[in-house]
Amino acid sequence: ADFEHFSEGLLEHFGREHNESLLWGTYRPGLLFGVKSRTIPEAVVAGLMWTSVSKTGARLDESNFRHTCEESETKQGLKFGFSEHDGSSYGKQTITDPGNKVELQTYFFKRAFDSWTMRVAGSSSKGKKALYFYLGVDEELS
């Protein structure tokens, strides 16, 4: 089949406003919560990580560090996933992490093509926790 002929001019109908509306989003599959820009060759990324902390606050529990969605952790009761998402500007999820005795609610709001907000609320049934928000540059596409 000649797909090249079929796709010719297909994307011309999408204007600048539509393309800008997709600049930021929750485009990071495999993470419990992550945001990414659709810029090439370098994308700006943001996300969350957390773990439990020893009673003295001197050590992190590296065996229970949460960042990625791992099947082995879901078998231990980790639950996550957007309960609400409009595909572009809003998302809400509850993350239940029995290994760290944490429940988090994450929200993603995009106000304009270049402005977004992340909100995190949560509770812990036992012990101290460390919650990290990070920003970085992903050069995977270059």
DSSP string, 69-93: --HHHHTTT-B--EEEE-SSSEEEE
CA dihedral (118, 138, 67, 57) positive or negative: negative
- DSSP letter assigned to residue 13: G
- DSSP letter assigned to residue 63: G
Q: Tokens for 41?
A: 């060759």
Q: Tokens for 100?
A: 């760290």
- In this predicted model, what pLDDT tens digit does every residue of 36-49 receive, in sequence order? 988 878 889 999 99
Please tell me the predicted confidence (pLDDT) of residue 6: 54
> What Cα–Cα distance (Å) separates residue 57 from each residue in 53, 54, 74, 132?
6, 5, 27, 15
Please list the ranges in the chain whose pLDDT falls under 70.
Answer: 1-13, 140-142
The span from the CA of 112 to the CA of 116, in Å, is 7
Helix (H, G, I), strand (E, B) or coil at 46: strand
* Contact partners, residue 110, CB within 8 Å, separation at least 6: 24, 25, 88, 89, 90, 116, 117
Please tell me the predicted confidence (pLDDT) of residue 5: 55
Q: Which residue shows structure tokens 């090439």?
A: 40
Please tell me the predicted confidence (pLDDT) of residue 80: 95
Please tell me the predicted confidence (pLDDT) of residue 142: 45
Contact 88, 78 (CB under 8 A): no
Please tell me the predicted confidence (pLDDT) of residue 7: 54
Please tell me the predicted confidence (pLDDT) of residue 1: 52
pTM exceeds 0.75, yes or no = yes
